[in-house]
Amino acid sequence: MGITAKHKKELELTDLNTETFLAIALNTVTNLNWQISEVTTSEISAYTSFSLYSWSEKVTIQVEKNKVLLKSECTGNQIIDFGKNKNNINLFITQFEQLKNNLSEGEIIEKIKLFNEALSQSTENKLDTKVIESNNFNSILSILKPSKGYFITPIIIYLNVLYFLVMVFNGVDLFEPSGDSLLPWGANYKAITLNGEWWRMVSSCFIHIGIFHLLMNMYALIYIGLLLEPILGKMHFLSAYLLSGLLASLISLWWHDNSVGAGASGAIFGMYGVFLALLTTNYIEQSARKVFLSSIGIFVGYNLLNGIKGNVDNAAHIGGLISGMAIGYAFLPSLRNINDLKLKHLIIGLVAVTTAIITSLVYISIPNNIGIYLSKMKEFGEREEVSLGIYKIDPNASKQQILNAIEYKGIYSWKENVNIINDLEKLDLPSEIKNKIEPLKNYSNLRLKLNQLLFKQINEETNDYKFEIDSLNKQIEIILADYEKLK
């Protein structure tokens, strides 16, 4: 078990020197059909073949003084390996011992020659490509500590966890918070975000919909952070995370009409997108490309398919993934020239400015029909409250005062509300909102007719309209009862 799962074994180097041991070890790895990643004067690393029994684990054979450290580690985001890594180590030892016992002195010399050739070739390749290093974290707590090559990831984790705890301590449900409870904390919602609160596209990346949502996202972030942050460096990693998160929120905003968006998954998918982009170039060592393309591809594919079931913001996931890939390709020149600080700052700045321009253009072009609907409904409610004020008229008021109240508070308000409903009918709105408009239209027309009859009854000082007024009141009660069911 571990993050990721791994197995280690230490052996004594007794009857062989370092060079001879590594030469035989290299031959053993080749016979096992493992893909050699790197060869140094003290270490060999390779990836196992992808099969039913192996998911391309990374095996490292390291010689230090008189000891040999063997390590097999999962490359996918596996917490439990079900014995795969231990089997790899045992298989290597068995094959190594058989080979060592069967080699003649001349064959050993030949293996040493082949080892030195592989060493020379590996050194040349390392100058041109980036080797993915295995992490040295031994506990859960160690992966939460900022360190060299892994500094930004833990800080992002702290921010997400801290923000979540503050929300919970202020009354947000620990397990299944409602969308309404997340909005005051900066969740992404089209009607509000497009109404000038653009910052929600960023703040929503640090809000989570319950503890399980938070834990799953933080685990995915830890895995990609362990792999990617040492390759990108702090500035590239942080800017890629924030920019892909922003674009993921933008796509979610464009796609969804009436749902609350929250979570770091859009930004995390962006980091997987960056890694996928680098894996499709020769920037990453060749032996690692196929391995990590498989593991990352499985992770991305599973999560996107899982999102089809609903209650998952796949728009943000896809938006983050594509954005991350674009950012990854854009960063490539500065990654290849990592010591050129001017180039690094220039490219990061250009990517940030381009992202800001794209975000602004899309932001202002997205129709905010939900926002218009909510604004109109707020006006509708205010006019309704004014119209109902006619039932609170002073009983001692004169006939003219009562007629004025009905005409200017009642009849006028309901005519305006009918116009509001007519405007709402022209908007492109989700079906669950559209279904509420027709009852409101009927309700408004009934209220308008009721006020007109009340005006006539009082003005003519007659009870001739009593039956019709009672009938309208009953119809209004029925419509209000049915409308409550639609909420």
Question: Do 99 and 28 touch, CB atoms closer than 8 A?
Answer: yes
- Choosing from 265, 287, 323, 334, the catalytic residue is 265
E runs forming strands in 173-294: none
| End-to-end alpha carbon distance in the chain | 48
- Report residue 23: phi and psi, to 5°: -65, -45
Question: Do 221 and 268 touch, CB atoms closer than 8 A?
Answer: yes
Q: Distance between CA 223 and CA 389 in Å, rounded? A: 61
Sorted by sequence, the CB contacts under 8 Å of residue 253 that are 6+ apart come out as 188, 190, 193, 194, 201, 261, 363, 366
Is 259 part of the annotated catalytic residue set? no
Q: Distance between CA 313 and CA 303 in Å, rounded? A: 11
| Cα–Cα separations (whole angstroms), residue 77 to 5, 134, 224, 319, 486 | 8, 13, 9, 22, 44
Paired sense of beta strands 58-64 and 43-47, if any: antiparallel
Q: Is the preceding omega at residue 48 within 30 degrees of 0, hence cis?
A: no
**Angle at alpha carbon of residue 82, lines to 37 and 25, rounded to 5°:** 30
Retrieve residue 469's tokens: 């007024």
Residue 75, class by beta-carbon neighbours within 10 Å (0-12 exposed, 13-18 middle, 19+ buried)?
A: buried
Name residue 202's amino acid.
Answer: V
- Choosing from 122, 317, 334, 413, the catalytic residue is 317
Closest Cα partner for 256 from 186, 217, 201, 215? 201
Spell 206-245 as b/e; 16+ CB within 10 A means b.
bbbbbeebbebbbebbbbbbbbbbbbbbeebbbbbbbbbb
| Cα–Cα separations (whole angstroms), residue 217 to 147, 208, 211 | 21, 9, 10
Sorted by sequence, the CB contacts under 8 Å of residue 220 that are 6+ apart come out as 77, 265, 268, 299
| Cα–Cα separations (whole angstroms), residue 173 to 5, 209, 216, 238, 311 | 33, 9, 17, 30, 17
Question: Do 61 and 133 touch, CB atoms closer than 8 A?
Answer: no
Is 317 part of the annotated catalytic residue set? yes
Check the CA dihedral 10-231-293-286 and report its sign: negative
Give the rounded distance of the alpha carbon of 114 from its chain centre: 47
Closest Cα partner for 156 from 146, 170, 167, 141? 146
| Cα–Cα separations (whole angstroms), residue 366 to 77, 187, 363, 371 | 37, 18, 6, 11
Residues marked active site are found at: 265, 317
